[in-house]
Amino acid sequence: MKQILLVIIAAILIASCPAAAIEPQKYGATASQDLMQPDIELLKAKKEAAIKEAEELEKQGTLKSVIAEMEEKKKEQDGVHSDLKARYEETQKQVESLQQREELIRPEANAIAGPVRSIAQSVAQSMVQSMTSAEYAGRKKNIDQLIPQTQFPSLENIQKLIDLVFDETVRNGKIAISNLSYTDTAGKEQTGEVLRIGAFTALCRKSGSVGYLEYASSKEGLSQFLGKMPEQHLKAAAAFAGNASQGMFIDPSGGGAFRFLADQSAKEDPVMDMVKGAVDYGIIWLLILLSFISLWVAVERLLVYRKIDIKNYSDKKSLELALTNKLYIIATIGSNAPYLGLMGTVLGIMITFYTMGNEGFMDPGKIMMGLSLALKATAIGLVVAIPSVFLYNVLLRRAKVILMKWEIVNG
């Protein structure tokens, strides 16, 4: 800045020099202007040069200050980089130390983690069938964190597993009543009083009706048992829920025994067993027998028509009786076989719907299978009826031809 000020002062002094102030009276006006013109231009040039030099000096001073500031920041960053590098080297040493320690303790850790994962899998499997899981949704998540092989079980999760096992053991010997939501047999969500006996049997009671419940692990909730339980089991459960009895039927297997009882109860209906036997062994075998009878009569009539001699018959009525004998059997079979098959189909559909109502729910594949077996009777009935009608028409036409030949011969 001092240099800039000196240059500006020098420019001002040059501009105010006495030699440049020549009195115009000594010379003429034109000569005076001619003599002063070069001095004025010289002064302007010097002034402009001084200004440019001052600007350049000012710029150089600004750049120097910026460069000094950048160098100061670089020194600071170099210091930070050195500090980070030292910390990185220290951290790297700690990582190597931890890796060496991990290699030393890995066998012992695996020896501990293996049994813990095995126990966790067993407990998780029992939670899938436990009724208490419906009251505490999400508690299985703590077990799931212990099962994967990719991570070592933490002490916190191991402690949660131990607490869960003890809690399940305690609840397994208690009876609890609470208001919970469950899915009824119609598939609708209901909320009512749930009576849980241990961790394996639960009852729902709403509006005076009582039903058994089962735990659905897929949705972590309760569903009403779809199988039809024996009536004495339901009465005993209703009496127990109403404090009118000290005992009821329980299922320690988590639903397996009740499903067996429901299947046995469905099989114990003698009427439906008789109807099913009538479809399988009555109608179908009757249609098969009728088909053989129809075929036998048709063959017998064809043999008779081949051997008959119209000359032996002097009366047309006697010939007609001989020709139409037993044709009514084929006609009756051909006209009634579809109705027998239809009756078998109706009975088969009735059995299918009865089974659906008895079990409460059926797989769609089983329903389709039951309906297809029911339609089997109609199909067999048509198979018997169509050939019978065809044979009847052929034989009837053959009989008419023989009668016409008799008329031609006898006039």
Residues 232-267: tens digit of each pLDDT: 777 777 787 777 777 777 766 666 666 666 666 555
Q: Pick the more confident residue, 32 or 301.
A: 301
pLDDT bucket at 298, cuts 50 / 70 / 90: very high
Residue spans of alpha helices (H) in 281-363: 284-307, 316-324, 327-359
Residue 72 CA to its chain's centroid (Å): 64
Q: What is the pLDDT of residues 181-193, one digit of tens each?
A: 778 777 788 787 8
Which amino acid would we find at residue 387? P
DSSP, collapsed to helix, strand or coil, labels residue 315 as coil
Torsion angle defined by CA atoms of residues 289, 293, 294 and 298, in that order, rounded to the nearest 10 degrees:
150
Long-range contacts (CB closer than 8 Å, 24 or more residues apart) made by 3-8: 3/57, 4/54, 4/57, 4/58, 7/50, 7/53, 7/54, 7/57, 8/50, 8/54
Question: What does the pLDDT average to over 8-20?
Answer: 50
**If we measure between CA atoms, which residue out of 221, 220, 223 comes closest to residue 211?**
223
The residues, ordered by sequence, that sit 6+ positions from 248 with a Cβ below 8 Å of its Cβ are: 197, 233, 236, 237, 239, 240
pLDDT bucket at 100, cuts 50 / 70 / 90: confident
Whose tokens are 């000569």? That residue is 31
Q: What is the model's pLDDT at position 158?
A: 74
Q: What is the pLDDT of residues 334-370, one digit of tens each?
A: 999 999 989 888 888 888 887 776 665 556 777 787 7
C-alpha distances out from residue 345 to 72, 277, 382, Å: 100, 13, 12
Q: How far apart are CA 375 and CA 341, in angstroms?
A: 8
Q: What is the model's pLDDT at position 284?
A: 84
Token pair of 82 as six digits: 């050195």
Question: What does the pLDDT average to over 22-30?
Answer: 44
Pairing of strands 221-224, 175-183: parallel
Q: How far apart are CA 172 and CA 362, in angstroms?
A: 32
Domain map of the chain by residue range?
Answer: 2-87, 130-267, 270-410
Q: How far apart are CA 325 and CA 355, in angstroms?
A: 47
Residue 84 CA to its chain's centroid (Å): 51
Q: What is the mean pLDDT of the chain?
A: 75
